[in-house]
Amino acid sequence: MNLSAAASATTVIDSLLFRDAFGTPQMRSIFSDRTTIERYVEVEVALAKAEAACGVIPADAAAAIAAHARAADFDADLLKQETDNVGYPVLPVVHQMARQCGEAGRYVHWGATTQDIMDTAVVLQIRAALDLVAADVDELRRILGDLARRYRDTPMAGRTHLQQALPITFGYKAAVWRTMLDRHAQRLAQLRPRVLVVQFAGAAGTLASLRGHGLAVQKALAGELALAVPSAAWHVARDAFAETVNVLALVTGSLGKIALDVMLMMQNEIAEAFEPFAPGRGGSSTMPQKRNPISSELILAASKAVRQHAGLMLDAMVQDFERATGPWHAEWIAIPESFVLTAGALRQAKTMLGGLVVDEARMRENLNLTHGLVVAEAVMMGLAPHLGRQRAHDVVYGACRTVGERGGTLADVLAGMPDVTAHLDRVAIDRLTDPANYLGIAPETVDRVLGA
């Protein structure tokens, strides 16, 4: 394809250059114009069937609507023109359905309002999209479980405030990452009953136009679409949609945390873990030596964008009276983009973590970088039974200052301090200053996480 034949997209969601960096074809398909219009038609057909089952419209009319309504045969140019004029796409869809269905077309959209159709169509899209997200989250949980299991006992420096703090294992780090995804899997499952609910309530939520058949039709419509029945109209009660996007923000937020860790570990000065290598990937146009953390960078960018949409969805919850004047429209932006960006971040995370290159030797080298200071706490706790905790702290603090100012190892400095050698021989000092002996419950935490 040459550039003149390329689509004229202007955002990373649909860009020829960026769409597969920030999304996936499967998720884009769910929220594409084609699929969106198909969902409108699906809801309208299901409504006709439900109303026929309840005796509201003739059964032969519903059969004709189901047989003849075809989104694939719509005039797209006319649909766009009428949508621009009306401001909403449902009435233009109804016009074309009515023409397709002939005499039965008079019964299309019977008793419904535009938002009923659009909201229910979005619910159907969300259901399909959540299936993709949940599958990717489960795959990431498997990948992280494998990493945690493989590196259960691999010592490395745990860092706080970007400084070496205490020894951990890389398996422990991966297990902590895994716990976030475990919780997200729970959230995604718990979300579904609250969001997979039909919207059919008429102009102001009362279904007065159906003259006593409203609840029966609502229930039948929900059955046709395999959705739950609401206790009341949710035209202006948008918490379920807001929750959906905020769960996506939580998922991508966790992916962003993992990505940041990997980016920091890829620094030349640390060099403990790397995104998988592929020729040319992460290369620089001017620095041939570069190996940039491309997947991690894309994940981090996507997570920031989804967080912005989460805030937009919370803002859009504040709606006026029984039908909103504008906040609803913000959802049209936030929901599709959030799902596409989340799918892209999940795909990048699967690629990055599935092929993660872990340098165990460098982890051990970095762990020894401070010549034993990383386990100063271990020495302090070893001396505490003899000297008391505060005195032990002061003694080890002095030893650490000596190492920092004069060099040497913590073990050598401690071995020259009478306050220490009066209670600990060299074997004990060497044992206490070996980072591999001060991993605490890090390995057992891996077992607990994987066991859960």
Residue 53: give its domain's CATH number: 1.10.275.10
pLDDT surpassing 80 at residue 3: no
Residue 312, in any domain of the structure: yes
Quote the CA–CA distance of 424 and 251 in Å, as a whole number: 49
Predicted local distance difference test score (pLDDT) of residue 4: 65
Quote the CA–CA distance of 238 and 229 in Å, as a whole number: 16
Which position among 8, 68, 109, 161 bears the catalytic label? Answer: 161
**pLDDT band for position 63 (cuts 50, 70, 90):** very high
Name beta bridge partners: 163.
Answer: 160
Nearest of 433, 427, 447, 353 to residue 400 by alpha carbon:
433
Asked if residue 351 and residue 409 are part of one domain, the reply reads no
Quote the CA–CA distance of 1 and 21 in Å, as a whole number: 19
Q: Confirm if 79 and 93 have CB atoms less than 8 A apart.
A: yes
pLDDT surpassing 90 at residue 326: no
DSSP 69: -
Predicted local distance difference test score (pLDDT) of residue 224: 97
Predicted local distance difference test score (pLDDT) of residue 6: 62
Predicted local distance difference test score (pLDDT) of residue 362: 96
The torsion angles phi and psi of 408, rounded to 5 degrees, stand at 90, -175
pLDDT surpassing 90 at residue 14: no
Is 284 considered catalytic here? yes
Among 362, 384, 410, the domain-final residue is: 362
Name beta bridge partners: 357.
Answer: 274
pLDDT surpassing 90 at residue 337: yes
Asked if residue 155 and residue 263 are part of one domain, the reply reads yes
Lowest mean pLDDT among 47-61, 119-133, 306-320, 410-424: 410-424
Residue 104, in any domain of the structure: yes
Predicted local distance difference test score (pLDDT) of residue 18: 86
Residue 23, in any domain of the structure: no
Amino acid letter, 171: G
Q: What is the CATH number of the domain that holds 371?
A: 1.10.40.30
Is 95 considered catalytic here? no
Residue 416, in any domain of the structure: yes
Q: Confirm if 178 and 164 have CB atoms less than 8 A apart.
A: no
Residue 22, in any domain of the structure: no
Q: What is the CATH number of the domain that holds 184?
A: 1.20.200.10
Quote the CA–CA distance of 292 and 284 in Å, as a whole number: 8
Quote the CA–CA distance of 412 and 430 in Å, as a whole number: 9
Residue 47, in any domain of the structure: yes
Q: Which domain holds residue 168?
A: 114-197+234-362
pLDDT in tens, 262-282: 999 999 999 999 989 776 665
Asked if residue 427 and residue 393 are part of one domain, the reply reads yes
Lowest mean pLDDT among 17-21, 77-81, 261-265, 438-442: 17-21
- Which residues 6+ apart lie within 8 Å of 418 measured at CB? none
Asked if residue 120 and residue 43 are part of one domain, the reply reads no
Asked if residue 144 and residue 103 are part of one domain, the reply reads no
The average pLDDT across 37-57 equals: 96
The average pLDDT across 138-144 equals: 97
Count of C-beta atoms within a 10 Å radius of residue 227: 20
- E strand map for 237-359: 273-274, 357-358
Q: Which two tokens stand for residue 129?
A: 């999209």
**Taking all residues of the chain, what is their mean pLDDT, rounded to a whole number?**
92
**pLDDT band for position 290 (cuts 50, 70, 90):** low
pLDDT in tens, 101-116: 999 999 999 999 999 9
Residue 35, in any domain of the structure: yes
Among 333, 362, 391, the domain-final residue is: 362
Asked if residue 137 and residue 89 are part of one domain, the reply reads no
Count structural domains, the chain: 3
Asked if residue 326 and residue 246 are part of one domain, the reply reads yes
Q: Confirm if 120 and 200 have CB atoms less than 8 A apart.
A: yes
Which position among 284, 285, 386, 393 bears the catalytic label? Answer: 284
Asked if residue 353 and residue 386 are part of one domain, the reply reads no
Asked if residue 394 and residue 248 are part of one domain, the reply reads no
**pLDDT band for position 387 (cuts 50, 70, 90):** confident
**pLDDT band for position 286 (cuts 50, 70, 90):** low
Lowest mean pLDDT among 141-145, 167-171, 350-354, 435-439: 435-439
Predicted local distance difference test score (pLDDT) of residue 15: 85
The average pLDDT across 202-208 equals: 88
Predicted local distance difference test score (pLDDT) of residue 44: 96
Residue 8, in any domain of the structure: no
Predicted local distance difference test score (pLDDT) of residue 203: 86
Asked if residue 420 and residue 355 are part of one domain, the reply reads no
Asked if residue 419 and residue 397 are part of one domain, the reply reads yes
Predicted local distance difference test score (pLDDT) of residue 98: 92
* Predicted TM-score of the model (pTM): 0.92
Among 188, 223, 258, the domain-final residue is: 223
**What does each C-alpha distance from 148 to 76, 166, 266 come to in angstroms?**
51, 18, 19
Q: Which two tokens stand for residue 432?
A: 């206490």
Predicted local distance difference test score (pLDDT) of residue 2: 66
Asked if residue 319 and residue 219 are part of one domain, the reply reads no
Q: Confirm if 178 and 145 have CB atoms less than 8 A apart.
A: yes
**pLDDT band for position 143 (cuts 50, 70, 90):** very high
